[in-house]
Amino acid sequence: MDILKVELGERSYPIVIGAGLLADPELLRQHIPARDVLIVSNTTVAPLYLQPVAAALSPRRVVEAILPDGESNKTLATVGRVIDVLVANRFGRDSCVVALGGGVVGDMAGFAAACYQRGVAYVQLPTTLLAQVDSSVGGKTGVNHPGGKNLIGAFHQPQAVLADTSTLSTLPPRELRAGLAEVIKYGLICDAPFFAWLETHAGELLAGDPAALSHVIRRSCEIKAHIVGRDEREHGDRALLNLGHTFGHAIESATHYTEWLHGEAVGAGLLMAATMSKEAGLLGDADVERVRALLERVGLPVKIGGVGPDVALEHMRIDKKVVAGRLRLVLMRAIGEAFVTADYPEEALQRTLQTCFA
Ligand SMILES: NC(=O)c1ccc[n+]([C@@H]2O[C@H](COP(=O)([O-])OP(=O)(O)OC[C@H]3O[C@@H](n4cnc5c(N)ncnc54)[C@H](O)[C@@H]3O)[C@@H](O)[C@H]2O)c1
Ligand SMILES: [Zn+2]
């Protein structure tokens, strides 16, 4: 069992990584002290993992809210249902919401916890690779709006993140690959040796090797915890975590969140960020090819069909990264050296969009 800490003063919390955590009554008791617990999960994850969690939480009052599966349900209406359950069961301010599932469940359960009675505690029990390496850490919660992804939300830090790596054994391979996109992102942001490690260990990761997966979860959480600890509310460095995301969100929203998984869109977005860095004269061809090769090696799609460059740009502009009318982007000077900038040649962006959204 590995324990990391997100250092945020009085909002600090542990990230525990290990196999079998969900069914460990002692661990759950330690990190979920509340007497009233609402487990939020979905129709796919609940049949697999809810029972052991509920059993480990007994004899406390445990109520369940089982949501429909899928990104298209990450809406205010679904969060409203979670809040309805809290109200109907007269949960007080000292209750705890437990998010059992991937990033969709985590974002909604966290947002419900942020809103209910102006904020109750919540604990993340992430069950996808993407949630274990990214979405469960850092306190961003929220939902989509028809006008854009994650447009409605709040910062609300969890009380703990308990990442049970054994849940990954039931994860569909496509979801595992999507999570690897976020892992590759961390290497590109600030850890070239980690990127190189991924190049040589991709096979083990794809085969679901527990040691390899634990290693990437730990390193990813370390990097994210460090960045969030420096800049909780994204006034500066936290924006680095958006590497590949402005492009990726354009892909997701232009295809109405139906064709691309979030992680897949981020993967293609990483290649776009590398291409854009090359177009801006920052990154060499060889590095762009390393990015492309690793994405392809882990089976992530890199070709974007059906979206034109103009539509893509329009979708990029509704993204939250527009500051004073100028789109801020995360670019790379090298593999492992990302930076945030609004100062880039407009033609470089145009050429990138033309090349990637052919
Ligand atoms: N808050 C943040 O900081 C942050 C960061 C990154 C992504 N996100 C959000 O996370 C979401 C994507 O998360 P995701 O990739 O986890 O998707 P997801 O939550 O939709 O999960 C993917 C699929 O896997 C299923 N599943 C989950 N765990 C499983 C398991 N152990 N076995 C079998 N099936 C399982 C889910 O039911 C779902 O069908 C997006 O909405 C994205 O915006 C948030
Ligand atoms: Zn992401």
Residue-wise pLDDT tens for the chain (358 aa)? Answer: 999 999 999 999 999 999 999 999 999 999 999 999 999 999 999 999 999 999 999 999 999 999 999 988 999 999 999 999 999 999 999 999 999 999 999 999 999 999 999 999 999 999 999 999 999 999 999 999 888 788 899 999 999 999 999 999 999 999 999 999 999 999 999 999 999 999 999 999 999 999 999 999 999 999 999 999 999 999 989 999 999 999 998 898 888 878 899 999 999 999 999 999 999 999 999 999 999 999 999 999 999 888 888 888 888 887 666 777 788 999 999 999 999 999 999 999 999 999 888 7
Which is nearest to 295 in space by CA: 260, 270, 262, 329? Answer: 270
Cis peptide upstream of residue 14 (ω within 30 degrees of 0): no
Strand 13-18, strand 2-6: pairing: antiparallel
Q: Which two structure tokens, joined as six digits, stand for 324? A: 């004073």
Query: What separation, in Å, do the N-terminal and C-terminal C-alpha atoms of the chain show?
Result: 46
pTM: 0.96
Give the number of the ligand closest to the Cα of residue 257. Answer: 1
Q: How far is the CA of 264 from the centre of ligand 2 (A)?
A: 9
Q: How far is the CA of 25 from the centre of ligand 2 (A)?
A: 31
Give the number of the ligand closest to the Cα of residue 224. Answer: 1
DSSP 3-state of 89: coil
Does residue 42 line the site of ligand 1, with CB under 6 A? yes
Which is nearest to 151 in space by CA: 320, 269, 321? Answer: 320
E strands, the chain, in order: 2-6, 13-18, 36-42, 61-67, 96-101, 121-126, 140-145, 148-155, 160-164, 322-323, 326-327, 329-334, 337-341
Does residue 71 line the site of ligand 1, with CB under 6 A? yes
